[in-house]
Amino acid sequence: MTAPAAPRTAAQPQAESRHRSPQLPAPRGDLSRDVLAALRSGGPVPAPPDAQHTDPYGDDLQLALYVLYELHYQGFEEVTDEREWDPALLTLRRALERRFLDALRADVPSGEDAEEALSALLVEPVGHDETSVSHHLQRDGELWQLREYAALRSLYHLKEADPHAWVIPRLHGRAKAAMVAIEYDEFGAGRPEDIHAGLFAELMADLGLETSYGHYVDAAPAEVLATVNLMSLFGLHRAHRGALVGHFAWVEVTSSPGSRRLAAALRRVGAGEAAQRFYDEHVEADAVHEQVVRRDVVGGLLAAEPALEADVAFGVRATGFLEDRLGALLLTSWRQGRSALLEWPHD
């Protein structure tokens, strides 16, 4: 079995270390190599690739897109802040987004009923779900698998709630009020020690993982990057506000039962209290959030802009589609007794 090293016994790292920007990752193909070279040197940006010859879900495109999106978050040590709005980078990013979105629209099951898409998420299987990562970790997961899961999910959870906050200026009335109320909880309800990104960093520290923002990007396969890129894509475009609300709804509706299983998995393998606290917090909070997001965020948006219903449904289904692809990768790797990480970086 190929598995990561055991947790460290040294002092835990500082939680949610975001005092400096991460370094640029290693390239995974010609496209990401050229993007990274342009960012390092400040030189010319590569021309948009031939869409017909670019795998929309592949490592090369997904890493290039991830790097371009990160310019709007923490940036990178080697890249000046001015590159965030570089017209050539934005032109390239738009071409990659279109390739990614075109593939999703072709592959995601169709349907324009948002309530139908959300209701399907509420059906819990009878017994153990062999396709569910959280069911596997609750029943059979080993400590090294939970560490891998936390490392990979850190690319999202260390920025938790940030991409969804971009939709707030694009909502109004009931939808905006409800969205802000939920985001307020995600950002700690006024208490910095309760910010959910910080709680996840504490979980990582409890598992002996490095908590620096973006530390595990070189370990993350394309399936992970795609789940993170999707919410950045939806969040950065007003035109995709309906899809972003659908993505947000998927997260909140599925969070509570999944978090309950993950908290049980961490207890079973003897993880510390900080590791358990993150998921315990989400069991209670997201059970409430689920009702608010369906009734007031989705309901409020569609009452004001009913033409966005198909977009909301697409956001729900596209999120589930990419999460299913990631789940299949993790479960296949773990059941074969091997790591799902591309590499295990030095912590």
- In this model, does residue 346 exceed pLDDT 70? no
| Alpha carbons within 13 A on the beta-carbon side of 199 | 19
Q: Which residue has the higher pLDDT, 230 or 119?
A: 230
Query: Does pLDDT of 210 surpass 60?
Result: yes
Confidence of residue 347 (pLDDT cuts 50, 70, 90): low
Q: Which two tokens stand for residue 119?
A: 């209701």
Q: 331 and 136 in contact (C-beta within 8 Å)?
A: yes
In whole angstroms, give the CA distance from residue 297 to residue 251.
13
Report H helices in 71-139: 87-107, 114-119, 133-139
Segment 242-289, tens digit of pLDDT = 999 999 999 999 988 899 999 999 999 999 888 888 898 888 766 678
Provide the token pair at 50: 């031939």
DSSP 8-state class, residue 66 = H
Fold of 114-335: Heme Oxygenase; Chain A (1.20.910)
Tens-place pLDDT, residues 30-67: 999 999 999 998 888 888 877 668 899 999 999 999 99
* pLDDT recorded at residue 9: 37
76-80, 81-85, 118-122, 318-322: range with lowest mean pLDDT: 118-122
**Alpha carbon of 23 to those of 5, 20, 45, 127, 213: distances in Å?**
23, 9, 19, 44, 10
Other beta carbons within 10 Å of 337: 10
Three-class SS of residue 43? coil
Strands (E) across 122-228 are located at none
pTM of the model: 0.91
